[in-house]
């Protein structure tokens, strides 16, 4: 079991799957759940060749049941320690509900180069609680009710929430999944009651306005229009106005837990956002004997390059060079993605003599239409 011990001695459980040289995607779960909530998405993106990571927030899941530090600043600091320990570069951070708050607070304070993009899914920012600044939020009595129910009978609360509003199973005609309900309960009961109690204030009373305004990286907001837990009018509709580089995508009829009830829809949109504008690869043909696709290394004069020759209507990829000092940071995968997209745009077929490109293709069968199985004629 992989764990990280933070500076204050808290052990955080995490999962880290996939090629270490691929672009990392980091998933942040909601209250009162664990990294297990992202099982579908982690397998989906692993299948597309990404490195996928998720941790159990302190006090949740298999991480230590902390009685202190159960607030958003510490949550974000924990993520920063995990990113540093795993040396994550150009990561995409995806957060659901409370996890969305964790993401935007972390990204706003992150070291340059650690983060490429962020996704807030059914997320709590800018703030759930009704305040003078945001009068459309929920009254304190709602969150006091959660605290009271948790204190009296946490096990029953953790059945009532997923059986009712979380997945929209309380709506007429809803297709109820007993498995989702039981899995929600299982995840919740793994965590600590004190941490869950404290986290109610963390997700409801934290104001993320300045965090949203500070993030210039691309941020996708995804929100179900029938979200009964985090009403869209008081969250995504306001957050999009605060983000300098935000995109809002809403889903009619879908619930707070839409990534679990409709993973086919959500996964496809996540993949499209992650891939969009991903390629800064350009073709360099200044030497007909050494043509190459180049990807500049940000903050450096160096480039990663995929060398090729042209054989009729085929582009023969021969070898790839990634600067050794940037090995293991996902640069090769970005180069490969851009290279395949450039070949697709050219209308030619790719011949994969380069072992790295062949390995990338093995993880990305969606390029089958542009890969020629035969070798070139010399």
| pLDDT of 277 | 62
| pLDDT of 376 | 44
Backbone angles phi, psi at 229, to 5 degrees: -100, -50
Residues 184 and 294 in one domain: no
CATH number at residue 351: 3.40.630.30
Token pair 């809403």: residue: 250
For the segment 327-349, the average pLDDT, to the nearest whole number, is 82
Which pLDDT tens digit goes with each residue over 204-240? 999 999 999 999 888 999 999 999 999 999 999 999 9
377 is catalytic: no
The angle that helices 193-205 and 140-163 make with each other, rounded to 10 degrees, is: 120
Q: How confident is the model at residue 378 (pLDDT cuts 50, 70, 90)?
A: very low
**Domain count across the chain:** 2
Characterize the bridge pairing of strands 303-311 and 291-296. antiparallel
Which pLDDT tens digit goes with each residue over 243-300? 988 989 999 999 999 999 999 999 999 998 998 765 568 888 777 778 999 988 766 7
For the segment 80-87, the average pLDDT, to the nearest whole number, is 97
Token pair 């089958």: residue: 368
Per the domain annotation, does 225 fall within a domain? yes
97 is catalytic: yes
Token pair 């007993």: residue: 178
Cα separations in angstroms, 280 against 91, 139, 218, 284, 336: 16, 47, 16, 13, 11
Q: How far apart are CA 268 and CA 46, in angstroms?
A: 14
| pLDDT of 377 | 42
Residues 268 and 361 in one domain: no
Q: How far apart are CA 40 and CA 52, in angstroms?
A: 11
Rounded to two decimals, the pTM is 0.78
Spot the catalytic one: 227, 235, 255, 333. 227
| pLDDT of 329 | 64
How many separate helices (H) and strands (E) can be counted in the chain? 12, 13
Residues 304 and 259 in one domain: no
For the segment 330-347, the average pLDDT, to the nearest whole number, is 83
Q: Which of 240, 275, 310 is the last residue of a domain?
A: 275
The length of the chain, given as a count of residues? 378
Give the burial string for 44-61 (b: 16+ CB within 10 Å, else e).
bbbebbbbbbbbbbbbbb
Task: Give the Cβ contact number of residue 283 at 10 Å.
Answer: 17
Structural domain range at position 87: 3-275
Spot the catalytic one: 29, 48, 96, 256. 256
Residues 158 and 292 in one domain: no
Residues 176 and 238 in one domain: yes
Biggest CA–CA distance in the chain, Å, is 77
Spot the catalytic one: 22, 97, 204, 333. 97
Going by C-alpha positions, the residue among 104, 96, 95 that lies closest to residue 73 is 104
Residues 181 and 32 in one domain: yes
For the segment 303-311, the average pLDDT, to the nearest whole number, is 91
| pLDDT of 375 | 45
Per the domain annotation, does 377 fall within a domain? no
Q: How far apart are CA 354 and CA 339, in angstroms?
A: 12
Tokens of 61: 């899941």
CATH number at residue 177: 3.40.50.1820
Q: How far apart are CA 95 and CA 101, in angstroms?
A: 7
Q: How far apart are CA 352 and CA 309, in angstroms?
A: 11
Going by C-alpha positions, the residue among 332, 319, 245 that lies closest to residue 23 is 332
Tokens of 112: 């340059």
Q: How far apart are CA 145 and CA 139, in angstroms?
A: 10
């Amino acid at each position: 079991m992989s764990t990280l011990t933070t500076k204050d001695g808290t052990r955080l459980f995490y999962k880290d799957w996939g090629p270490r040289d691929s672009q990392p995607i980091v998933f942040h779960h909601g209250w009162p759940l664990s990294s297990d909530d992202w099982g579908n998405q982690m397998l989906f993106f692993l299948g597309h060749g990404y490195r996928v990571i998720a941790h159990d927030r302190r006090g949740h899941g298999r991480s230590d049941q902390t009685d202190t530090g159960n607030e958003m600043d510490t949550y974000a600091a924990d993520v920063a320690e995990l990113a540093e320990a795993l040396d994550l570069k150009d990561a995409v951070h995806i957060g659901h509900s409370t996890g969305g708050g964790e993401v935007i607070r972390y990204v706003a304070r992150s070291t340059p180069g650690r983060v490429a993009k962020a996704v807030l899914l059914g997320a709590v920012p800018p703030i759930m609680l009704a305040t003078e600044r945001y009068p459309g939020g929920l009254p304190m009595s709602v969150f006091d009710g959660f605290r009271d129910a948790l204190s009296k009978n946490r096990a029953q609360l953790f059945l009532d929430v997923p059986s009712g509003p979380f997945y929209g199973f309380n709506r007429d005609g809803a297709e109820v999944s007993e498995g989702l309900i039981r899995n929600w309960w299982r995840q919740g009961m793994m965590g600590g009651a004190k941490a869950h109690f404290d986290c109610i204030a963390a997700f409801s009373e934290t104001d993320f306005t300045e965090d949203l305004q500070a993030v210039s990286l691309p941020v996708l907001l995804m929100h179900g229009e029938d979200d009964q837990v985090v009403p869209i009018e008081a969250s995504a509709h306001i957050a999009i106005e605060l983000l300098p580089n935000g995109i809002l995508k809403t889903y009619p009829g879908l619930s707070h837990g839409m990534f679990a009830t409709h993973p086919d829809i959500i996964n496809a949109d996540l993949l499209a956002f992650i891939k969009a504008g991903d390629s800064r690869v350009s073709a360099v043909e200044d030497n007909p004997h050494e043509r190459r696709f180049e990807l500049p290394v940000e903050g450096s004069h160096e480039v990663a390059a995929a060398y090729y020759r042209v054989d009729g209507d085929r582009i023969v990829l021969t070898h790839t060079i990634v600067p050794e000092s940037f090995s293991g940071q996902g640069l090769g995968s970005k180069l490969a993605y851009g290279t395949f997209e450039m070949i697709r745009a050219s209308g030619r077929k790719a011949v994969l003599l380069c072992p790295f490109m062949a390995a990338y293709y093995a993880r990305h069968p969606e390029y089958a239409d542009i890969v020629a199985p035969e070798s070139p004629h010399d």
